[in-house]
């Protein structure tokens, strides 16, 4: 990855497209076991980011991550707004004065996911976005450690994102609104796990292509 963020505007467009294309499905997922607003929250955050797209292209990664995180926190609302916001604010701190080659990025992302765990007091297996984010982070770290080629690592990240998202279907929820439903949450995929997977797959496809 280069020091500057030229690719951010087009990445952001790819992310918005995949969320918009799957908005009805995500709305239904959150309606089934939450309050139905997750995709609207996320679209509001992405719209705010897209209005700043040109600024991002001129920034260093750390500054861009910070601006993305602060913007998501102040515009999205919902549990997911503070959690996605935390992800990027933490990545901003971790990437300060750090070379963002593949291995560096994997470490920065892992730090961001760790902060989401702390903020949400949640871990893998609780039927949340973390069931997508944690396996992706682990896969990137492991592939970077073993010097796997970036395109292969991105494909691996897609695979584990999809498996992780699907794994939420048969889980009981122990965090978030779905936790109020007990056994009735079983059989539904978590909305935040799905949007996290969609965004990760869009980013990976964009970088591979
Ligand atoms: P809200 O639940 O406040 O309406 P959203 O609908 O925007 O917020 O986001 C819900 C998503 O947030 C869930 O699908 C889940 O993935 C994620 N989430 C909720 N609580 C937590 C938590 N404590 N830790 C991690 N993720 C969480
Ligand atoms: Mg909701």
Alpha carbon of 26 to ligand 1 centroid (Å): 13
Q: Where are the domains of the chain?
A: 8-208
Q: Which residue has the tokens 């919902």?
A: 78
How far apart are alpha carbons 145 and 140 in whole angstroms?
A: 8
Q: Quick check: 48 pLDDT over 90?
A: yes
Alpha carbon of 116 to ligand 2 centroid (Å): 17
Higher-pLDDT residue of 20, 209: 20
Residue 80 makes CB contacts below 8 A (sequence gap 6+) with 38, 41, 42, 129, 192, 195
User: Quick one: pLDDT at residue 57?
Assistant: 87
| pLDDT tens sequence across 142-176 | 999 999 999 999 999 999 999 999 999 999 999 99
Average pLDDT over residues 44-51: 97
| pLDDT tens sequence across 110-136 | 999 999 999 999 999 999 999 999 999
Q: What is the 3-state secondary structure (H, E, C) of the chain?
A: CCCECCCHHHHHHHHHHHHHHCHHHHHHHHHHHCCCCHHHHHHHHHHHHHCCHHHHHCCEHHHHHHHHHHHHHHHCCHHHHHHHHHHHHHHHHHHCCCCCCHHHHHHHHHHHHHHHHHHHCCCCCCCCCHHHHHHHHHHHHHHHHCCCCHHHHHHHHHHHHHHHHHHHHHCCCCCCHHHHHHHHHCCCCCHHHHHHHHHHHHHHHHHHC
How far apart are alpha carbons 149 and 65 in whole angstroms?
A: 25
Q: Quick check: 30 pLDDT over 60?
A: yes
Average pLDDT over residues 2-11: 81
- Residue to probe by mutation, ligand 1, list 176, 185, 198, most atoms within 8 Å of CB: 176
Specify the pTM: 0.97
User: Quick one: pLDDT at residue 3?
Assistant: 58
37 CA closest ligand 1 atom index? 6
Alpha carbon of 186 to ligand 2 centroid (Å): 17
Q: Which fold has domain 8-208?
A: 1.25.40
How far apart are alpha carbons 154 and 152 in whole angstroms?
A: 5
Q: Quick check: 2 pLDDT over 60?
A: no
Q: Quick check: 1 pLDDT over 60?
A: no
Average pLDDT, the chain: 96
Residues with CB under 6 A from ligand 1: 30, 34-35, 37-38, 41, 78-80, 83, 120-122, 128-130, 175-177, 190-193
Q: Quick check: 58 pLDDT over 70?
A: yes
Alpha carbon of 142 to ligand 1 centroid (Å): 27
Higher-pLDDT residue of 3, 170: 170
């Amino acid at each position: 990855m280069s020091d500057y963020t030229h690719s951010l505007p087009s990445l952001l467009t790819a992310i918005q497209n995949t969320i918009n294309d799957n908005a009805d499905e995500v709305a239904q997922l959150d309606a089934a076991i939450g309050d139905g607003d997750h995709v609207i929250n996320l679209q509001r955050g992405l719209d705010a980011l897209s209005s700043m797209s040109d600024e991002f292209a001129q920034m260093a990664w750390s500054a861009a991550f910070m601006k993305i995180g602060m913007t998501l926190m102040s515009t999205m609302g919902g549990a997911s707004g503070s959690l996605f916001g935390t992800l990027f604010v933490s990545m901003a701190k971790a990437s300060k004065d750090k070379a963002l080659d593949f291995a560096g990025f994997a470490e920065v992302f892992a730090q961001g996911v760790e902060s989401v765990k702390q903020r949400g007091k949640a871990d893998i297996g609780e039927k949340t976005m973390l069931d997508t984010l944690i396996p992706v982070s682990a896969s990137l770290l492991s592939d970077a450690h073993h010097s796997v080629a970036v395109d292969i690592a991105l494909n691996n990240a897609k695979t584990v994102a999809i498996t992780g998202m699907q794994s939420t279907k048969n889980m009981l929820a122990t965090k978030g609104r779905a936790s109020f439903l007990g056994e009735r949450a079983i059989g539904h995929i978590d909305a935040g796990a799905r949007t996290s997977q969609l965004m990760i797959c869009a980013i990976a496809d964009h970088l591979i292509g």
